[in-house]
Structure 1
Amino acid sequence: MSATGPLAPPPASGGDARVPSPLGLPPSRQRRMPVARITQRHLLRIRVVLNILLVLALLYTVTIVRGLLIPLVLAGFIGLALNPIVAFAARRRVPRWLSASVLVIALIAGIGTGIARLTPPALEWFHDAPSLVRNFVPKLRAVMQPLEAANRATQSLVSGQAVRQAPRTATVAIDAWDVIAGTPKVLAAVLTVVLLVFFFLIYGDSLLRRLVEIAPNFRYKRRTVSIVRSIQVEVSRYILTTIVINATLGVVTATMLWAYAVPDPLLWGSVAMIANFIPYVGSITTTTLLALVGLMHFDQPGQALLPALTFAGITAVEGNLITPLIQGRRMRLSPVAILLWLLVWGWLWGIPGALLAVPMLTSVKLIAEKLRGWRWFALVVQR
């Protein structure tokens, strides 16, 4: 067969019948490129759909097992907050079980004393709620009278006649049986949290060592220890700082209410301290409650609204000056991210989810900063 036959290789130069590729690729690969791109696009779409289904499955699972996860998450945060004290005692050769026992007993005693002090005034408020509401309606009507007059004038201009509204009576129904029936569940949840905190404080380092042993080599072991230790220190610092700030806010609020002669200042100071764990929503809720309490117990509108206005000023200073100054820029979160996170966890877990939402968001942000491929999340939620 001659060199110019059909099986002969193409000449090195000149006479090449094939069109040269602008990308430097053979023609067969050029024909396969559109198919590869279409396949890649289909795989990307499938991946997006699978991620969405995974998120929905996680949300459904978190909702179903919230009775298990809420005590676990709460105990984890309390354990992280108290772990520095146990670690400090362990460095002074104090057994971890002894320091953990003292802390848990002190925590139970403090919470029990607070509940014993605050339960009678809270029950009294619930018992007197119908009469307080009946006395509150005329005062609220006096405050809202200018707005009602403007509303009636507007409706008369539109419809040509004045609109008369029948007075409404407010009723408050309180079922004591629901409270009694829910008491065993509350006690079981409290006991679960206490036991989990106790065991977290004792066996926290053992869990860390087991986690390090899972790592495949020394480099991963060292990186695991570094990440876990840094996250533990930063989350503990954040939780302790938040607790101290909120407790201080509760004390300042109770002192302010005592100075204004508002009844049960310790109760409302405790409400302000607990509600402040929910940014924005907690302060707005407490301000509204203090406004209602003031209108119920004072006759003059200015005197009635003074406690609420003072508390609004205190929370403005705390939220915009004190907390950012103490926690630093690294712990500051975007308001949009906070509100979305509150919306999601409040919808999934109710009030406990709203209380735990911001600590969980801060912890996830700190963890994302340490993990490769997740730093984008920390940048998105950071202010």
Structure 2
Amino acid sequence: MKENPLLHRRDDFKVKTRDIRAVRLLSVLVGLATLYTFYYAQTLLVPAVFSVLVALLLSPLVSRLETVHVPRTISSIVLLMLLVMPFSFLGAELSEPIQRWMKLIPQLSLQVTEHINEISDVFEEVEHKSLEDADKGSKTALETLIENDPRDQSNLTQQSAVEQKLKQSGVEVVASLLTGAPIFLAQLLGSFILILFLIIFGPPLFKVFINDFPIVKNKHRAKLLIKSIQHALSKYIATISLINSGLGIVTAMALAAFGVRDALLWGALVGLLNFVPYVGSVTSLAILCFVGFVQFGITAIAFLPSCIFLLLNIIESQIVTPAVLGNTMRVNPLIIIVWLLLSGWIWGVLGVLLAVPILVCIKLVIEQMEVFPHWLKLIEAKDDD
């Protein structure tokens, strides 16, 4: 008897379908495992990613100094010290205002509660006055019930409970920041050590990997590719760091010129948050609105700090950054927001700050290696495409 070839085709089709489903399921599992690995290993990976970004920033300078016979060890230490010194000076200058604002957080919580109570009292007085005017000074049974309502005492109890809760939350924020400071300092010290080792001993490892490992077929192209990727990444990191630092400095000078207290602190915060597109600007705007209300009270001039920042941010985001970076920062806004949410879920606040530099680095690597063109097009998607 002859075998029916259609049966073999059906069996092959079933096997291929099972294999495809198994591969897809395995890919999903690997993706989830990778996400949870990033999540649980954040204390290790966040300093490592930060160290790699800084090492990419300093490596071209170290290589240039090596061409004029300056040892990598000496140039790496000197450049890292030059990079750390301004931040050390800035941290020393900002330590006093940071401590002062940390102490003010519980008091400000109570003040906000008091302002809310005052506003509610004003509305209640207006309501009672309108009732009195409507009745021409005669007290109705309804007003008597309102005055003698036992729920008034419960409302006062609830307001006091809210005040205590706000005060407690402010104290908890300060306590969490103080308890997390030693861990942050330890991670920062570890990052500096890792940066030095990456700059000094990283290039020899790359050379051995490219020259001796059989996985690299075209060694000349691999060297050129790594060099172009390193140059593009270091240029981007340096450029965006200078732009954000410039925005912070100009913001601090403008706020100081208009008499805003602790202008250096708010300028540093603005420069740091500007690494987070959209969300960082909105956060800076909200913080400066709050600062204006704290210093000037509930008046029109309280919006002055936020208006100053809004004007400078528009100039930076619409004129300076597009003119300097060009298509390097061409990333779809929805992709940025989703990436920020994912990075914030995995690595918290530090993940949000590092999210966009990491995304742009991935984009530059894909672009330089000329792989995954559909993913590159998705990242850069715009209405005119």
1:87 to 47, 55, 63: 63
Structure 1 counterpart of 2:107, one-letter code: S
2:361 to 355, 360, 363: 363
Change (3 A) 1:261 1:69: same
The Cα of 1:323 is off from its aligned counterpart by 1.1
Partner of 1:100: 76
2:106 to 123, 126, 130: 130
The Cα of 1:55 is off from its aligned counterpart by 0.2
Structure 1 counterpart of 2:354, one-letter code: L
2:70 aligned counterpart, secondary structure? coil
Partner of 1:303: 301
The Cα of 1:219 is off from its aligned counterpart by 4.9
Deviations 1:315-335 (A, max 9, x none): 223223221221111431111
Partner of 1:245: 243
Kept after mapping to 2: 8 A contact 1:227/1:370 = yes
Kept after mapping to 2: 8 A contact 1:140/1:295 = no
Separation in structure 2 between the aligned mates of residue 175 and residue 57 of structure 1, nearest angstrom: 32
Gaps of 5+ in 1: 1-25, 153-159
Separation in structure 1 between the aligned mates of residue 58 and residue 279 of structure 2, nearest angstrom: 27
Separation in structure 2 between the aligned mates of residue 199 and residue 124 of structure 1, nearest angstrom: 38
Partner of 1:21: none
Partner of 2:133: none
Separation in structure 2 between the aligned mates of residue 300 and residue 96 of structure 1, nearest angstrom: 56
Kept after mapping to 1: 8 A contact 2:51/2:195 = yes
Separation in structure 2 between the aligned mates of residue 214 and residue 303 of structure 1, nearest angstrom: 67
Partner of 2:253: 255
Kept after mapping to 1: 8 A contact 2:328/2:360 = no
The Cα of 1:136 is off from its aligned counterpart by 4.5
The Cα of 1:382 is off from its aligned counterpart by 1.5
Partner of 1:63: 39
Partner of 1:283: 281
The percent of aligned pairs where both chains have the same amino acid is 30
Kept after mapping to 2: 8 A contact 1:139/1:295 = no
Kept after mapping to 1: 8 A contact 2:330/2:380 = yes
1:350 aligned counterpart, secondary structure? helix
Kept after mapping to 1: 8 A contact 2:210/2:216 = no
Partner of 1:42: 18
Change (3 A) 1:176 1:293: closer
Kept after mapping to 2: 8 A contact 1:291/1:305 = yes
Separation in structure 1 between the aligned mates of residue 121 and residue 246 of structure 2, nearest angstrom: 38
Change (3 A) 1:299 1:313: same
Separation in structure 2 between the aligned mates of residue 191 and residue 130 of structure 1, nearest angstrom: 31
The answer on 1:53 being equivalent to 2:46 is no
Partner of 2:206: 208
Kept after mapping to 2: 8 A contact 1:366/1:378 = no
Structure 2 counterpart of 1:345, one-letter code: S
Separation in structure 1 between the aligned mates of residue 41 and residue 330 of structure 2, nearest angstrom: 30
Change (3 A) 1:247 1:268: same
Partner of 2:186: 188
Aligned residues: CA RMSD: 3.0
2:233 aligned counterpart, secondary structure? helix
Kept after mapping to 2: 8 A contact 1:215/1:221 = no
Deviations 1:55-108 (A, max 9, x none): 001111112221111111100000111112212211222111111111122223
Kept after mapping to 2: 8 A contact 1:75/1:193 = yes
2:50 to 56, 68, 74: 74
Gaps of 5+ in 2: 128-141
Structure 1 counterpart of 2:255, one-letter code: L
Higher fraction of helix: 2
Deviations 1:165-196 (A, max 9, x none): 76553423157765554443223212111111
Change (3 A) 1:299 1:175: closer
Deviations 1:22-67 (A, max 9, x none): xxxx995444323322322222211111110010011111122211
The Cα of 1:297 is off from its aligned counterpart by 1.0
Partner of 1:156: none
Separation in structure 2 between the aligned mates of residue 380 and residue 56 of structure 1, nearest angstrom: 22
Kept after mapping to 1: 8 A contact 2:289/2:306 = yes
Partner of 2:333: 335
Change (3 A) 1:28 1:368: farther
Q: Provide the TM-score with structure 2 as the length reference.
A: 0.82
Change (3 A) 1:112 1:88: same
Q: Provide the TM-score with structure 1 as the length reference.
A: 0.82
The Cα of 1:217 is off from its aligned counterpart by 8.1
